[in-house]
Amino acid sequence: MEAIALLVIVVFAVWMQEFLFNKFAFYNLHYECRFSTGEAFEGEEISFIEVAHNNKPMPLQWIKAEIRTSRWLSFADTRSFIAQEIRHVTSGYHLRIYQKTTRIWKVKCLKRGVFTIDNVILVSSDFFGLSTRSLPITVNSKLIIYPGLVDLEDVLLSTRNLQGDIIVKRWILDDPFVIAGAKEYTYNEPMNRIHWQATAKQNALMVRKNDFTSNQSIRIILNIQTVEYYHPYTIDRELIEYGIKISATLMDRALKIGIPVGFASNGYISQNQEDYVYTSAASGNLHTMQLLTTLSELEFKINIGFDEFFRDTSPRIDESEIIIITPYLEDSLNEMFNSLKERGVSVKIILLNEVYKESNLNSEIPVYTIRAGGVK
């Protein structure tokens, strides 16, 4: 009889703990998670913070948080696996009564983009593993990863000057002054300002005359179409990722010296999937963040070929300079380039290809290519 009584007590205890678990497992259980910051740059390391609080007089023997996020967020020291573009991260806890615990993960931002964690699934089991419960928790945590920056002098090479390194180092964005003409040498100017062509023409020493570019503005145009024929998706994504880094670097340089910058691309962002990207030109920290966010959100889907895109946008360009970043050159664009130059718009081209294919491009248009091994 004692054995039967003991067995009844054990069965009742097991049943009772299972009953209490099913009824109160997630009662007064608070869980939250968030990134330590809402913005970061590609390659930067940030923190991911989890807080779990079991605010009741019943312990939880085992609880697991199932987190789904982007594969481009690398969680250190976690059990995770990748399925397509999703990284599945598992975090486990043992919570005593009224226990609150905080866990901080190191996260490496591997690629630019806008990433969210919408929901986390909490899974728990009773002491004997007889019953399992799950609960979805709304998180709505968002992280914007801005593109990384590159050293333009290290990666760009001028194709139309034997002193390509020097030409690149004199990139217009490094100097807020432009040449406005020439004037006669007064012996007060440094010798490196002598304008030798004007000196030969005037048969007298002439120096370069500089004007501050108070009305200078720049538009950066990125072509995400990597082949000359139209395709609805970007084929060489790594090449365009590098073009995005160059765009971010140009924006950063221009805005640091106060030159207004606008951006345009034949790609689209998630908020506007039916159109291409065309932002107004402005300066300031807020505009910088808006442009970098646009680059972070840029998708690899092409609604319009670059030739048609440029024909549609070129009449709207009122900046003093445009910089076109493209994987290839099309002879059909020459007429539009020349038309812009006639309107006083300076045109520069960065070719995202190590091999420069000569075309009928106006010889006055500077062309820069990526050095061998530049794209990583």
3-state DSSP of the chain: CHHHHHHHHHHHHHHHHHHHHHHHCCCCEEEEEEECCCEEECCCEEEEEEEEEECCCCCEEEEEEEEEEECCEEECCCEEEEECCEEEEEEEEEECCCCEEEEEEEEEECCCEEEEEEEEEEEEECCCCCCEEEEEEEEEEEEEEECCCCCHHHHEEECCCCCHHHHHHCCHHHCCEEEEEEEECCCCCCHHHECHHHHHHHCCCEEEEEEECCCCCEEEEECCCCCCCCCCECCCHHHHHHHHHHHHHHHHHHHHCCCCEEEEECCCECCECCCCEECCCECCHHHHHHHHHHHHHECCECCCCHHHHHHHHHHHCCCCEEEEEECCCCHHHHHHHHHHHHCCCEEEEEECCCCCCCCCCCCCCCEEEECCCCCC
Of the pLDDT bands very low, low, confident and very high (cuts 50, 70, 90), residue 277 is very high
Domains and CATH numbers, the chain: 2-146 (2.60.40.10), 152-176+214-370 (3.40.50), 178-212 (no CATH)
Q: For 230-266, write each residue's pLDDT tens digit.
A: 888 888 999 999 999 999 999 988 888 788 999 999 9
Residue 37: pLDDT over 90? yes
Tell me the average pLDDT across 149-176.
58
pLDDT of residue 372 exceeding 70: no
Share of the chain above pLDDT 70, in %: 81
pLDDT grade, residue 117 (50/70/90)? very high
Task: Return the pLDDT at 175.
Answer: 45
